[in-house]
Amino acid sequence: MTSPKVKRISVLPVLALASIALALPLSSWADSAKKTTEGPPIVATGSVTRASGSSATLEGTIAPRTLVTTYYFQYGPTSTYGQQTATVTLTPPATGSGIVTVKVEQSVTGFLPGYHYRLVASNAKGTGVGHDHVYTVKSTKSDFVLPKTFLPVTLGGTFTITGTLTGSANAHREIVLQASPYPYTAAYVDVGTPLLTGLTGGFTFNVQDMLSSTRFRIETVGTPTVVSRIVPAEVALRVVLKVRTAPGHKGLVRLYGTVTPAAVGAHVFIELEKVAKPKTEKPGKLEKPEKPGKGEKEKSERPPSFATKFDTTVKRATRTISRFSTVVSIRTTGRYRVLVQVKPGAVVSGTSSTVLLHAASKAKKKKKG
């Protein structure tokens, strides 16, 4: 029986190759790994931040891949750009791997909604270009946001308009207040000097010494021009109420005062402020809890109501003021005011401040024996 032949393979060449590999210096292995990370920078165009007017900050990311890299942003109204930021040198982080992403940003001016922009970076191995982006905002249209209603201002008082200019170019925008007084047939003219809106477009106009009802509007200076809706500012009569009691006659008082400007024949209503009655729950019925702060807010915003108790007319007048006077018997203790009613015109109806008046105490009836 013959034994099978076994092919002998010499291991000497394999051992020799392994010996050679082990004999190579470690720097050669490092150079080999470095070559796998070196290359043109990897670039990504980012977003637009801190936009205010025509100024903004452009962002992006760069992977320099172990090499010193320079970068800049291109921007302009079309995809051909036309403008670019200054070139900045980026030193790669000393991490050993080389595949490290670095966030970069640069500020630009003259940058408007609809502009194109992208990030460009270069190193010794080549150039990396980020994707083209277009700067968009939710709303590029500017508009004035104003309160829905305005309370009348007393003759000689100050009328205040507070609002906000919206849109992409609302910060530090020059605006002017314009007016057309009663009967509102004259063209609008500028009132005072223009002012600048705040960082968020906010503004406040104060018109002092109001003597006639006026319609206002607000307009931006320059183009494009934005005009607000009309704001009606009513000027109310200035009514002063005074009280004189009759000695020895409790509850009997003389109510008199002045009305400015003169309004002979105007109706005068003497009104009692109504006191809100607290709600009462039925026995055994639990009261529903209110949401925190909701009840207090609603009560504070609800104006007081009044009921007419007496009336008279304005009878005497001079060139500037008129007077009223009447004697009444107060039957209900409470706070009273005077409402002087006129037809709307250069001035509208006005009210006085309230005064506390006491009613005469009722005599107790004697019981029959």
Q: What is the pLDDT of residue 280?
A: 60
| Between residues 10 and 352, the one the model is more confident about | 352
Q: What is the pLDDT of residue 293?
A: 52
| Between residues 20 and 143, the one the model is more confident about | 143
Q: What is the pLDDT of residue 167?
A: 85
- Structural contact between residues 309 and 251, judged by C-beta atoms closer than 8 angstroms: no
Q: What is the pLDDT of residue 145?
A: 95
Q: What is the pLDDT of residue 291?
A: 56
Instruction: Give 94's DSSP letter.
Output: S
Mean pLDDT for 293-303 is: 54
Q: Inform me whether the pLDDT recorded for 304 exceeds 90.
A: no
- Please state which of the ranges 150-164, 226-240, 248-262 shows the lowest mean pLDDT: 248-262
| Between residues 264 and 137, the one the model is more confident about | 264
Q: Inform me whether the pLDDT recorded for 140 exceeds 70.
A: no
User: Percent of the chain having pLDDT more than 70?
Assistant: 79
Q: What is the pLDDT of residue 130?
A: 97
Fold category of 36-134 in CATH:
Immunoglobulin-like (2.60.40)
Mean pLDDT for 228-234 is: 95
Mean pLDDT for 129-147 is: 85
Q: How confident is the model at residue 1 (pLDDT cuts 50, 70, 90)?
A: very low
Q: Inform me whether the pLDDT recorded for 20 exceeds 50.
A: no
**What is the Cα 147 distance to its own chain's centre?**
12
The mean pLDDT of the chain is: 84
- Integer Cα distance of 357 and 251 in angstroms: 8
Mean pLDDT for 24-48 is: 69
User: Percent of the chain having pLDDT more than 90?
Assistant: 62
**Per residue in 108-121, pLDDT tens?**
999 987 889 999 99
**What is the Cα 159 distance to its own chain's centre?**
20
Fold category of 144-235 in CATH:
Immunoglobulin-like (2.60.40)
**Per residue in 204-226, pLDDT tens?**
999 999 999 999 999 999 878 89
CATH architecture classification, 238-276+304-357: Sandwich (2.60)
- Please state which of the ranges 16-20, 67-71, 128-132, 196-200 shows the lowest mean pLDDT: 16-20
**Per residue in 59-115, pLDDT tens?**
999 999 989 999 999 999 888 999 999 999 998 876 555 578 999 999 999 998 788
- Integer Cα distance of 92 and 64 in angstroms: 6
Q: What is the pLDDT of residue 182?
A: 96
| Between residues 13 and 184, the one the model is more confident about | 184
Q: Inform me whether the pLDDT recorded for 329 exceeds 80.
A: yes
Mean pLDDT for 266-287 is: 75
Domain positions in the chain? 36-134, 144-235, 238-276+304-357
- Residue 213 makes CB contacts below 8 A (sequence gap 6+) with 181, 182, 232, 233, 234, 235, 344, 345, 346, 347, 348
Q: What is the pLDDT of residue 222?
A: 86
Strand order, beta sheet including 322-329: 238-245, 252-260, 322-329, 316-317
- Fold match between 144-235 and 238-276+304-357? yes
**What is the Cα 213 distance to its own chain's centre?**
28
